[in-house]
Amino acid sequence: MTEKEAAELAQLERRAKKLFSGRVEFLLSAPQLKFLPEPTVPEIAFAGRSNVGKSSLLNALVGRKKIARASVTPGRTQELNFFEVGDPTLFRLVDMPGYGFAKAPVKVVEKWKNLVKTYLRGRQVLVRNLVLVDSRHGLKDVDREMMKMLDEAAVGYRVVMTKADKIKASELEKTVAAVEAEAKKHVAAFPHIHVTSSEKGMGIGELRAALLQDAGV
Ligand SMILES: Nc1nc2c(ncn2[C@@H]2O[C@H](COP(=O)(O)OP(=O)(O)OP(=O)(O)O)[C@@H](O)[C@H]2O)c(=O)[nH]1
Ligand SMILES: [Mg+2]
């Protein structure tokens, strides 16, 4: 990276931090497609297995502890939750229910799955997805399934490793390399893997800057 590029990146990160720490407001919770908000601004959605840290990441990005509800019980988030960023609103962050294991009846999980699938495939203002992967576990088959679906939906996505504070640096390196190699095989996946810890703030500034660019602001 040249000095000029580094300076530009630093400036982008500052702008992103300012925007994410400014107006962020919960807009609505959509338990069904008919409750989706008007598609007026770009949207960035958070996907990932139950308990991977989607809600926590959203909270870390906006620097507030409880804007999205996080919990130790997998299956906490059960609807599509929309958060507006900027004043006036420049884009939205969408916290989604997790896939894979969830402490909920099969029928209910099936309903979330369809909601998420239809949203991901058909939402015109959806500009980017984040696929969150637990640093301790790496990619699981349900993640691969989701990535395949996103490839087909042709919406670009960033793979974001979460809970990096919970694993040794040497182990983390191995897992990231393996995820990176697999991501290369997915047409809609960005080659760069984001490594984050919502707990420690690791990788959050860089991800904010990337999302700002994704949203085109
Ligand atoms: N140590 C550590 N714990 C984390 C981190 N991110 C999330 N957690 C914890 O992981 C648990 C699940 O986090 P959530 O953010 O609720 O996960 P989620 O993906 O939104 O879960 P669902 O809504 O159930 O799909 C909570 O106990 C969080 O405190 C992290 O970066 N580090
Ligand atoms: Mg959640």
Tens digits of residue pLDDT in 60-78: 999 988 887 776 666 667 7
pLDDT of residue 71: 66
Query: Could you give the angle at the alpha carbon of 67 between the alpha carbons of 62 and 69, nearest 5°?
Result: 125
Measured CA to CA, the distance from residue 150 to residue 143 in angstroms comes to 10
For ligand 1, say whether the CB of 77 is within 6 Å of any of its atoms. yes
Measured CA to CA, the distance from residue 111 to residue 122 in angstroms comes to 16
Q: Are 68 and 83 in contact (CB under 8 A)?
A: yes
All structural domains of the chain: 3-215 (3.40.50.300)
Burial class (CB in 10 A: 0-12, 13-18, 19+), 183: buried
Structure tokens at 125: 């203002």
For ligand 1, say whether the CB of 199 is within 6 Å of any of its atoms. yes
The count of C-alpha atoms lying within 13 angstroms of the C-alpha of 100, restricted to the half-sphere facing its C-beta, is: 19
- Of 56, 57, 66, 103, the residue with max ligand 1 atoms within 8 A of its CB, to mutate for a pocket test, comes to 56
pLDDT of residue 73: 67
Tens digits of residue pLDDT in 18-56: 999 999 999 999 989 999 999 999 999 999 998 999 999
Span from the CA of 24 to the centroid of ligand 1 (angstroms): 20
Span from the CA of 130 to the centroid of ligand 1 (angstroms): 15
Which residues fall within 8 angstroms of residue 16, CB to CB, at 6 or more apart? 205, 208, 209, 211, 212
Which of ligand 1's atoms lies nearest the C-alpha of 132?
A: 19
Q: What is the pLDDT along the chain (217 residues), one digit of tens a residue?
A: 899 999 999 999 999 999 999 999 999 999 899 999 999 999 999 999 989 999 999 999 999 888 877 766 666 677 899 999 999 999 999 998 888 765 677 888 788 888 999 999 999 999 999 999 999 999 999 999 999 999 998 899 999 999 999 999 999 999 999 999 999 999 999 999 999 999 999 999 999 999 999 999 9
Cβ density class 19-47: b for 16+ within 10 Å, e for less: bbeeebeeeeebeeeeebbeeebbbbbbb
pLDDT of residue 187: 97
Q: What is the CA radius of gyration of the chain?
A: 16
pLDDT of residue 68: 76
Measured CA to CA, the distance from residue 209 to residue 207 in angstroms comes to 5
